[in-house]
């Protein structure tokens, strides 16, 4: 099976997940999705300390394991993907089996930063959205879906999210093959990406 790996990067709240979900729904069983967030390193520190860690720095991720898994998927082998708990700020003991498919979508804010990971991506898409919109989306998501307080969300944004975006995420934009404004809400860009994926699937 000829597997193509598509990387979708961009800042927090930019619309990466919306775009990824659109593509996953559109192509169903032909697509597997791998989230970089699930590859956060396991921590032994107490919960109170874990809450204060910088989760927007490349060192927070076990990217080597993700690279190993992507190579296996490309070779037609299933992998056991780790599962991360946002409420516990730690990797769980659970894993999810991901089967090899014709298309693998890799999603995460920092996936264009590591050259070894970047070199595995056949198509690199960067989702770009206004910073004010991104922080509002992140705040709503973290409060409503992840049980965070607004105070903790704002503090994290100012101390780690914004500085790390400026230091790592935004500069990685230069590696993108395609820059998409507003993620899954950009119908024209979405149609172009769908056509590219459909063509690859049709080729077998």
Q: How many domains does the chain have?
A: 1
Residue 42 contacts residue 161 (beta carbons within 8 Å): no
Quick one: how far is CA 134 from the chain centroid?
15
- pLDDT tens digits, 8-47: 999 988 999 999 999 999 999 999 999 999 999 999 999 9
How sure is the predictor about 119, in pLDDT bands with cuts at 50, 70 and 90?
very high
- pLDDT tens digits, 73-96: 999 999 999 999 988 999 999 999
Residues spanned by the domain of 148: 4-203
Angle, CA 8 vertex, CA 75 and CA 159 arms, to 5°: 125
Least confident of 38-42, 150-154, 191-195: 150-154
Average pLDDT (48-63) is 94
Mean pLDDT of the chain: 93
63: CATH:
3.40.50.300
């Amino acid at each position: 099976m000829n597997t193509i790996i598509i990387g979708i990067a961009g800042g927090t709240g930019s619309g990466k997940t919306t775009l990824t979900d659109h593509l996953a729904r559109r192509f169903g069983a032909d697509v597997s999705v791998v989230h970089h967030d699930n590859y956060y390193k396991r921590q032994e520190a107490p919960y109170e300390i874990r809450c204060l860690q910088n989760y927007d720095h490349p060192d927070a991720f076990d990217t080597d394991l993700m690279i190993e898994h992507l190579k296996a998927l490309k070779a037609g082998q299933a992998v056991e993907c780790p599962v991360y708990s946002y409420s516990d700020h730690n990797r769980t003991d659970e894993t999810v089996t991901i089967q090899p498919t014709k298309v693998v979508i890799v999603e995460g804010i920092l996936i264009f930063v590591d050259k070894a990971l970047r070199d595995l991506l056949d198509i690199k898409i960067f989702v770009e959205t206004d910073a004010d919109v991104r922080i509002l989306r992140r705040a709503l998501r973290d409060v409503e879906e992840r049980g965070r307080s607004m105070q903790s969300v704002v503090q994290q944004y100012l101390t780690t999210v914004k500085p790390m975006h400026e230091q790592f995420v935004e500069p990685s934009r230069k590696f993108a093959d395609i820059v998409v404004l507003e993620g899954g809400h950009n119908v024209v860009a979405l149609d172009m990406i769908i056509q590219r994926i459909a063509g690859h699937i049709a080729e077998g």
